[in-house]
Chain A
Amino acid sequence: MPVQYSGIMEEHHAVRNAVGVFDISHMGQFLVKGPEAENWLNFLLSNNVQRLAVGESQYTFLLNEDGGVIDDLIVYRYDEGKYLLVVNAAKTDEDFAWMEARLRPGVVFENQSAQYAGLAVQGPKSVQLFDAFFNSRHSRPARNEIKKIECDLTTLLISSTGYTGEDGFEVFFPAQDAAKVWKAILDRGAEFQIKPCGLGARDTLRLEMCYPLNGSDLSAKHTPLEAGLSIFVDLQKPDFVGREALLKQRSDGVKRRLVPFMMKEKCPPPRAHYPVFKDGTQIGEIASGTLSPTLQIGIGMAYVPTEFARINEEIEVDIRGRRFRATIEKKPLHRKGA
């Protein structure tokens, strides 16, 4: 996926107001099946796979023994005893090696990343586009549902997931069909003013929603509890990698938190690693930052000590030696229809 096609701003607004399509073929896909698949995934992943009915998906983490995040991913239970994991592109090899090293009898584990292409179709008009694309012959998947659809072009695995905060779909299909599916969606989407969108808009859209990006907001040095994502960790499960460390962190108290912030004055766009100050003392640094195309003001997320992780807390961001005022906000920073 390139950084942009027609321009980050234009692509961003297309997704907020109409529909955009992202090529997510770079993302990794693993297949997990076999009688022990569920138990094995529940040992390696933070969320509880047992909660998934066939055709459902969940957001989850692959953690290390310290409770740090190796990767964040979506697991789809696409059939009885069969799971599709969609992982971050840059982490595909690391994730696969980590999981393979912990493989158990009764589990078939395959890296299918090269065989799959994927597209994310996102925006309020994605719903109409779905109906138009399939001539209303198929019902739309419900939120977090995944379904298999056979169409003239190919066989699609399609789910109502995304990384933008808008209605939308993610579709995966055999890589050799990528060009014709891409073209068909753009052609069919023309009447809905569809735009091809790149990594730049993907980042501004997800940051307005406070969705974390692995490598920026998540890392092996931070736990999901620090990132404010404990709802995707099931500490009730008897055993999973990272559980002991997370229980200890919870009882000791979480020392720092990832918080969204918004600039209170006109300033250069806040960016990753800019220092964050409180009353003249540095308390952290920005994990992710940008100029919000929707809000037209600087926004971002930063790790700060828990004592400052309060809504409306006033902080300052240092940009090339100048300090600019910001406040800690509630997430998401952008609300649909706002």
Chain B
Amino acid sequence: MNVPDDLQYSDTHEWLRMEGETATVGITDHAQAELTDIVYVELPKIGDLVSAKQAVAVVESVKAASDIYAPIGGTIVEVNSGLEANPALVNTDPYGEGWLFKLRIEAGEQVERLREPGQYRAAISASGKYDV
């Protein structure tokens, strides 16, 4: 499973890419493989203020609907509207075209409680299951 070195990870299989005060969020390669063919993505509204570990989006495969959690708190500033027409981008390019939303981080948010790539790799090889 692909776990890029330049990202941070949540226990619930979201990834986060920090660029200044903005964080881009998606689900990991491991998560998309476990969820199987994604057929629908429900995204948060721009302007929503969300807190860490809050369910903010829903990713649906043929078999199940799965909540996606905000890895850290902030304000939703952008969502990936391309997923409306092509939700399978989450499967084919989970770290690129398949990103879900962008958050503007509030001052003082704790980014350090997320996992480093090595920790996340160890966690998924230990569990072997998507456990959200």
A interface residue numbers (CB < 8 A to B): 3-4, 7-9, 200, 204, 266-269, 271, 290-291, 293, 320
Q: Does B18 contact A (CB under 8 A)?
A: no
In the bound complex, do residue B62 and residue A293 qualify as a contact, i.e. CB atoms below 8 Å apart? yes
Q: Which listed residue, A267, A269, A320, touches B62 by the CB 8 Å rule? A: A269
Q: Which listed residue, B36, B42, B60, B84, touches A7 by the CB 8 Å rule? A: B36
Q: How far, in Å, is A297 (CB) from chain B's closest CB? A: 11
In the bound complex, do residue A320 and residue B58 qualify as a contact, i.e. CB atoms below 8 Å apart? yes
Bound: A204/B37 CA distance, A: 13
Q: Which of A4, A267, A269 has the most CB of B within 10 A?
A: A269
In the bound complex, do residue A271 and residue B65 qualify as a contact, i.e. CB atoms below 8 Å apart? yes
In the bound complex, do residue B58 and residue A200 qualify as a contact, i.e. CB atoms below 8 Å apart? no
Bound: A3/B61 CA distance, A: 12
4 closest cross-chain pairs (CB), A and B: A8-B62, A9-B37, A291-B39, A268-B40
Instruction: Take A8-B36, A268-B40, A269-B40 as given contacts and tell me if A291 and B65 are in contact as well, using a CB distance cutoff of 8 Å.
Output: no
- The A interface is mostly helix, strand or loop, or mixed, namely loop
Bound: A305/B60 CA distance, A: 30
What residues on A are CB-neighbors of B63 within 8 Å?
Answer: 3, 8, 200
What residues on B are CB-neighbors of A3 within 8 Å?
Answer: 36, 63
What residues on A are CB-neighbors of B36 within 8 Å?
Answer: 3-4, 7-8, 200
Q: How far, in Å, is B32 (CB) from chain A's closest CB? A: 11
What residues on A are CB-neighbors of B84 within 8 Å?
Answer: 266
Q: How far, in Å, is A34 (CB) from chain B's closest CB? A: 43
In the bound complex, do residue B65 and residue A8 qualify as a contact, i.e. CB atoms below 8 Å apart? no
Q: How far, in Å, is A164 (CB) from chain B's closest CB? A: 15
Which partner residue on chain B sits nearest A296 by CB separation?
B39
What residues on A are CB-neighbors of B62 within 8 Å?
Answer: 8-9, 200, 204, 269, 290-291, 293
Which partner residue on chain B sits nearest A293 by CB separation?
B62
Which partner residue on chain A sits nearest B64 by CB separation?
A271
Which partner residue on chain B sits nearest A267 by CB separation?
B40
Bound: A128/B40 CA distance, A: 36
Told that A269-B39, A269-B62, A291-B60 touch, could you supply 4 new A-B pairs with CB distance under 8 A? Answer: A3-B36, A4-B36, A9-B37, A291-B62
Q: Which of B46-91 contact A (CB under 8 A)?
A: 58, 60-63, 65, 84
Which partner residue on chain B sits nearest A268 by CB separation?
B40
Bound: A290/B62 CA distance, A: 6
